[in-house]
Amino acid sequence: MKAFFKFEERGTNYRKETLAGITTFLSMAYILVVNPIILSQTGMDKGALFTATALSAIVGSLLIGLLANFPVGIAPSMGLNSFFTFSVCIGMGVPWETALTGVFIAGIIFMILSLMKIREKIINVIPSDLKFAIAGGIGFFVAFIGFKNAGLIQANADTIVSIGNLGAPGALLAVFGFIVTLMLLVKGIKGGIFYGMVITTILGMIVGQIDVPHSVVGAVPSLSPTFGVVFSHLGDIFSLKIFAVIFTFLFVAFFDTAGALIAVASQAGLMKDNQIPNAGRALLADSASGVAGSIFGTSTTASFVESSAGVAVGGRTGFTSVIIALGFAVALFFSPILSVITPEVTAPALIIVGALMATEVRHINWGKLEIFIPSFLTIIMMPLTSSVATGIAAGFVLYPFAMIASKKAREVHPIMYVLAALFILFFAVS
């Protein structure tokens, strides 16, 4: 097992990997609750969605762990489940069965692109400065999510966002968790992020902010209302409207996953010569999980940026992903326990992980305008638009123009020009 996952080469062990897997699972566990809530607004069965969410996370995390040896968790994407529900089904009036079939077709196309190594080629030609910007931008985005989930910031019509109610019990609990976690990390305690989450959860139950579960074991909801419906609706996708939906699923999922892989590989020190090892296998695992997820009955899956929480406590191999998959498998039968993993519990971890990831921006060449302006745009647009893909798109569109203006057009790979054109089309369509 150690040889298969290259423990010695990556300087890790069973304890680090297990702790990393548990930490990432706890950071991702909210998807088991949130995904069914969002997708059920289309008319889908909430119980079946819970099971489909867990199964797609199990399949995806196992695939990327075993095929690519990556410490990454895969589950239904938060951004794409909202697009699926509010833009496609509710906004465009597309039945959920047809929309799910669109997800299935997008997954098949993804698999073909991955097998042809087109996705891997695209990721590897991205300039190193933009890769560092992607990693740093995701750090700011993750921290922003943490502050929002904790109630430490809130929407404001005049200033867009403002400080939240720091006297609210949930916010106070998150602040406590943040301070405890920071102190553990500063003291050099391995697994400080995980232990901080545990301590915060215990305090939350003691003070009554987190409900103590009344039961431990729960029945697994039936998958039958959603399982396999994509096969009976393949004839419904032949329209310009659905083709536009499939294109959007493809584009957003591609760069959400690319961003997450780049960020995790950079944070874990796995990047070599500006390339991600086993990127092709990782992308194939991601696309295959998307196909499986649509068959189970959930929207597009993606590599989770929350995987960086596990990397922060030492995760370096696919064994971390195996532990993540086991966590989701256990959650199928012990769903009542999930109620203790509240946003206030995970928020401190996300904020600190965001800070750790943001350090990647130090590698950007801040001495050249044509480099740091597109990089900055990539970084800042992620938290401002709540979309990794949009941040990448903005930077990638500007980068070729900046290089042309600085008379360095030949230094830009032709694929980057193609991507810039596609991103302009993406903005026009969306």
What gap in Å lies between CA 27 and CA 311, rounded to an integer? 12
CA separation (Å) from 362 to 125, 270, 323, 397? 21, 17, 32, 22
Q: Backbone phi, then psi, for 262, in 5-degree steps?
A: -60, -45
Query: H/E element holding 76?
Result: strand 74-76
Structure-token pair, residue 329: 């498998």
Would you give per-residue pLDDT tens digits along the chain (430 residues)? 999 999 999 999 999 999 999 999 988 887 887 788 789 889 999 899 999 999 999 999 999 999 999 999 999 987 678 778 877 888 788 999 999 999 999 999 989 988 888 878 887 788 989 988 987 887 898 788 889 989 999 999 899 899 999 999 999 999 999 999 999 989 888 678 878 888 999 999 999 998 888 777 878 889 999 999 999 999 988 887 788 788 778 877 777 777 888 888 888 888 877 778 888 898 899 999 999 999 999 999 988 878 988 998 899 999 999 999 999 999 998 877 767 778 888 888 888 878 887 888 998 999 999 999 999 999 999 889 877 778 888 999 999 999 999 999 999 999 999 989 988 987 887 6
Q: CA 71, 77, 78: angle at the middle one, nearest 5?
A: 120
Query: H/E element holding 75?
Result: strand 74-76
Q: What is the pTM of this model?
A: 0.74
CA separation (Å) from 55 to 170, 250, 358? 31, 22, 32
